[in-house]
């Protein structure tokens, strides 16, 4: 009787709990799950599309594209997401789609936290990137991870920054019977890594390309970025998988990213030459042609802080001082 009463109480408690959860719809009450979906964009090539948003507790940091490819002898993974939890759920998804095959290679496109913090769930010996990406993760990974905990809370539980162990510098690599071309670029960060599957012609651009989402600039050099875009434009490919946004067959992601960067560059130069404060620059209207670009206002405000002092160094006249 006592036992029964106890379990009845437990049942009621659970029922009340789920009821409360349904009422408030709060993410707090449920188990944190990303509900990852893989879409097969090309034969045996799956992309897990993130939302075109900024980090929030609601999205758990799932704002990024990750991808995996079945190659003859195993699986190749491109970027690992924003958290250990994401990495675990990505790995589950891979084993559903490609049962029984080992992950042979994990590539990190650059050191931003939404792209590599799932590394932890993979064998460090198979995680590869250019030395620049590795250096950046080693230098900034911990601080970036701390900030992700602050932004995403429990989604980040147990996540640590893990740098790739394999430094790449070759222009090609064969992984499990598949040839990949490797491109060592920069501009979005000081080291941006682009991977092309030479069998399918799918180009994984990392965050050098954004589609229907405003580019982010915390480590950007717009001049280098433009050069990288010109190079990508001339690179053979059948499909681009950008770092954020939908797949792109026509190269629109290149146009969109370049258009945004040109506008950003011109606007900030103008603002600095007028002697505007950063706050005044942030109030500049976003042109209508960017209406389809998600989080434009947020990213523009962030970019003002990232880039303004570089423009001041370049454009504000140096003054002779008397001491």
Contacts with other proteins, residue ranges (CB under 8 A): 146-147, 150, 218, 273-280, 282-283, 301-302, 304-306, 309, 312-313, 316-323
Closest Cα partner for 200 from 224, 177, 170, 180?
Answer: 180
**CA 19 to each of CA 22, 32, 33, 107, 108: distance values in angstroms, whole numbers, following the listed order:** 5, 17, 19, 43, 41
Cβ nearer to other proteins, comparing 15 with 305? 305
Cβ at position 195, least distance to other proteins in Å? 29
Looking at the DSSP assignment, which residues form a beta bridge with residue 202? 197, 239
Radius of gyration of the chain (CA): 22
Closest Cα to residue 109, out of 86, 84, 69, 137? 137
Q: How far is the CB of 32 from other proteins (least distance, A)?
A: 22
* Least spacing, CB of residue 159 vs other proteins, in Å: 16
Q: Which residues contact 155 (CB under 8 A, 6 or more apart)?
A: 32, 57, 60, 61, 82, 83, 85
Residue 244 and residue 196: Cα distance in Å, rounded? Answer: 17
Nearer to other proteins, 250 or 274 (CB): 274
Which position has the token pair 């947020």? 298
Length of the chain: 323
Q: How far is the CB of 307 from other proteins (least distance, A)?
A: 11
25 vs 317, beta carbon nearer other proteins: 317
| Residue among 100 and 285 whose Cβ is closer to other proteins | 285
In the bound complex, what is the minimum distance in angstroms from residue 83's beta carbon to other proteins?
17
Dist CA 181 CA 53 (whole Å): 30
Minimum CB distance to other proteins, residue 150 (Å): 6
Q: How far is the CB of 64 from other proteins (least distance, A)?
A: 19
With respect to other proteins, which residue has the nearer C-beta, 99 or 317?
317
135 C-beta neighbours (distance < 10 Å), count: 16
Q: Work out the angle between the directed axes of helices 222-233 and 252-273 (0-180°, nearest 10).
A: 160
Q: Residue 138 or 313: which CB sits closer to other proteins?
A: 313
Nearest distance from C-beta of residue 278 to other proteins, angstroms: 4
Q: Which is nearer to other proteins, 24 or 305 (CB)?
A: 305
* 218 vs 251 by CB, closer to other proteins: 218
Question: CA–CA separation, 308 vs 272, rounded Å?
Answer: 7
């Amino acid at each position: 009787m006592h036992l029964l009463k106890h379990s009845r109480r437990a049942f009621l408690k659970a029922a009340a709990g789920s009821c409360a959860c349904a009422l408030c719809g709060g993410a707090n009450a449920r188990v944190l799950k990303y509900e990852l979906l893989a879409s097969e964009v090309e034969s045996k090539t799956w992309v897990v599309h993130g939302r075109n948003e900024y980090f929030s507790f609601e999205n758990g940091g799932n704002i990024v594209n990750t991808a995996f490819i079945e190659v003859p002898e195993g699986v190749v993974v491109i970027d690992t997401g924003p958290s250990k939890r994401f990495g675990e759920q990505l790995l589950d998804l891979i084993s559903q789609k490609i049962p029984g095959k080992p992950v042979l290679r994990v590539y990190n496109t650059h050191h931003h936290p939404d792209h590599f913090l799932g590394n932890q769930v993979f064998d460090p010996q198979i995680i590869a990137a250019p030395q620049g990406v590795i250096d950046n993760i080693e230098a900034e990974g911990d601080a970036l991870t701390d900030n992700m905990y602050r932004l995403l809370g429990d989604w980040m539980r147990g996540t640590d920054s893990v740098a790739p162990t394999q430094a790449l510098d070759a222009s090609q690599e064969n992984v499990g019977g598949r040839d990949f071309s490797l491109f060592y670029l920069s501009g979005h960060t000081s080291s941006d890594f682009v991977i092309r599957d030479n069998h399918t012609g799918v180009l994984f651009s990392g965050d050098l390309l954004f589609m229907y989402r405003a580019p982010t600039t915390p480590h950007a050099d717009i001049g280098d970025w433009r050069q990288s875009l010109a190079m990508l434009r001339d690179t053979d490919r059948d499909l681009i998988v950008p770092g954020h946004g939908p797949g792109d067959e026509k190269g629109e992601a290149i146009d969109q990213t370049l258009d945004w960067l040109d506008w950003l560059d011109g606007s900030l130069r103008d603002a600095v030459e007028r002697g505007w404060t950063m706050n005044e620059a942030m109030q500049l209207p976003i042109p209508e042609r960017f209406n389809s670009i998600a989080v434009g206002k947020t990213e523009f405000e962030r970019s003002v802080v990232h880039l303004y002092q570089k423009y001041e160094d370049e454009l504000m006249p140096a003054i002779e001082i008397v001491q």
